[in-house]
Amino acid sequence: MKQALMVWGGWEGHEPRQCVDVFAPILQQEGFEVRVSDTLEVYTEWDYMRSLSLVVPVWTMGTITDEQERGLLEAVESGVGIAGWHGGMGDSFRNNCDYQFMVGGQWVAHPGGVIDYRVNIVKPEDPIVSGLSDFEMHSEQYYMHVDPSNEVLAATTFTGEHCPWIEGVVMPVAWKRRYGAGRVFYCSLGHVAADFQVPEAKEIVRRGLLWAAR
C-alpha cells in the first residue's frame, strides 16, 4: 500500500489539524495508508522517510533542526513526492533557504488580509487543473517570492487597492516542479480549513497531492 505522511504544527491560526482532517480521508480513499504526526522529528526516521510515496507538510513558521531538514530534503530528492498548501508549506521555516528552494517559493505578504480575489487557470491542459474554470476566493491573496523554474498552473492578479506599487502583478497560485527525483506541488490557497469548501480549491489540492505521490 502507498504510504503518505502528513506533518502538522506551527502557527495554529492556519488550522493545521483541521486542514489535515480535510485531506487525510481523501488520501485514504485513494488507497494510501496515512500517518499523521505532530512532530518534525519524524523526518529523522531515515528508512521510513525513503519508503514514502508522499509527504504533506502542514507547518506554518516555526523552526526545524538541521537533521530534520536534511531528512525531509534527502527523502524528496530521492524520489518521495511532497505537496501542500498556503502557509503550511509556503511559509515554513523562514530561515531555511534550502527548504524554500525545494518548495519553489516563500510567502512575503498578503495585502489587505482576507479579501475577495479571483484565481485564473493558466495551464488548462494540465491534468491538475483541466476542466476547471476561473473562480473566486474570499481569503488571503498570497504575494510570494517564486522560483522562475516553477511550472505555473494557476495565478491571481493584484489590483493595487492595498499596495498601489504592485497593481497588475500576476502571481502564481499553484505550481509543480521537481526537486531531484521528487515531484513537488504547491498551492497558496487554504488559509483556513473552510477555504476548501470552495470546490475548485479543494480539487486542485486533491489532484496536486495525487500528482506528487510516486
Residue 9: strand pairing partners: 59
Mean pLDDT by 10 residues, the chain (214 residues): 97 98 98 98 98 98 98 98 98 98 98 98 98 98 98 98 98 98 98 98 98 97
pTM of the model: 0.98
DSSP code per residue over 90-157 = HTB-TT-HHHHHHHTEEEEE-TTSEEEEEEEES-TTSTTTTTPPPEEEEEE--EEEE-TT-EEEEEEE
User: Residue 132 CA to chain centroid, in angstroms?
Assistant: 19
Determine the longest span between alpha carbons in the chain, in angstroms. Answer: 51
Query: Are 204 and 129 within 8 A, CB to CB?
Result: yes
Query: Are 153 and 184 within 8 A, CB to CB?
Result: no
**Rg, the chain, Cα only:** 16
Return all residues near 94 (Cβ < 8 A) that are at least 6 apart: 61, 106
Residue 205: what pLDDT?
98
> Which domains are delineated in the chain?
2-212 (3.40.50.880)
Residue 65: what pLDDT?
98
Residue 75: what pLDDT?
98
Residue 199: what pLDDT?
98
Residue 175: what pLDDT?
99
